[in-house]
Amino acid sequence: MRYEAVVFDLWNTLVLWPNDQGRSPYALMADHVGVPHDRFDEAWSALYDQRATGPLEPSVRAVCERLGLDGNAVERLVDVRLDFTREALVPRDGAIDVLEELRRRGLQLGLISVCSEEVPRLWAEIPLGRLIDEPVFSCSVGVVKPDERIYRIAAERLGVPADHCLFIDDQPVFAEGAVAAGMDAVVIESPEGAPDPDGLDRWTGRTIASLPEVLALV
């Protein structure tokens, strides 16, 4: 197939999620407001869907209400989250070279990320921002992977038929969503130290070990 676009996942595909538990954003936020880690994790996790499909501040405010924290904690937690994400949004080795080569070959580049609002707020500051033609953030469009709609949004923004898009993700269930939406999809192996993703035993499509292998597929 002659692809016209390659659409990437963000975390653990183009950017590695920090694997050091000491740098966990949840632990950092919990310490910042003086809440036990397990109690904070429970409250934060409960609002995942709200953060992933809408603005960050209301979900953080709801977390603070659950924890009995005053309104002053909201801004502090948002700042901690922004600072952590800014440090984490570093392209993995080889990512920039691969994206630049794909652009040189004339392919459109897209991104679909299930994320909260700090990622789009910081997007213009990072090197990936100048290389991705059309990023789609779940918190901005109100839809998360593997809902077929988010893949169609990406294809429409790129101006490319879904069946002419190649999608790359480390999560097989998200790759399956892309296939259901009409895209071709490849699973990239999880980085060392990351847990095996859900659905890996069911994935029967192609798998690659590193980003440069994408170049051989287009």
Q: What is the pLDDT of residues 3-54, one digit of tens each?
A: 999 999 999 999 998 876 556 888 999 999 999 999 999 999 999 999 999 9
Beta-bridge partner residues of 218? none
Which pLDDT tens digit goes with each residue over 117-156? Answer: 999 999 999 999 999 999 999 999 999 999 999 999 999 9
pLDDT of 172 higher than 60? yes
Cβ burial of 13 (10 Å; 0-12, 13-18, 19+) is: buried
pLDDT of 163 higher than 60? yes
Residue type, 160: V
d(CA 98, CA 110): 13
| Residues 110 and 84: beta-carbon distance below 8 Å | no
Q: pTM, whole model, 2 decimals?
A: 0.95
| Residues 147 and 44: beta-carbon distance below 8 Å | no
Both structure tokens of 38? 């397990």
Both structure tokens of 62? 């709801």
Which pLDDT tens digit goes with each residue over 74-103? Answer: 999 999 999 999 999 999 999 999 999 999
Span 154-171, average pLDDT: 98
What is the three-state SS of 146-205? CCHHHHHHHHHHHCCCHHHEEEEECCHHHHHHHHHCCCEEEEECCCCCCCCCCCCCCCCC
Helix (H, G, I), strand (E, B) or coil at 109: strand
Helix (H, G, I), strand (E, B) or coil at 137: strand
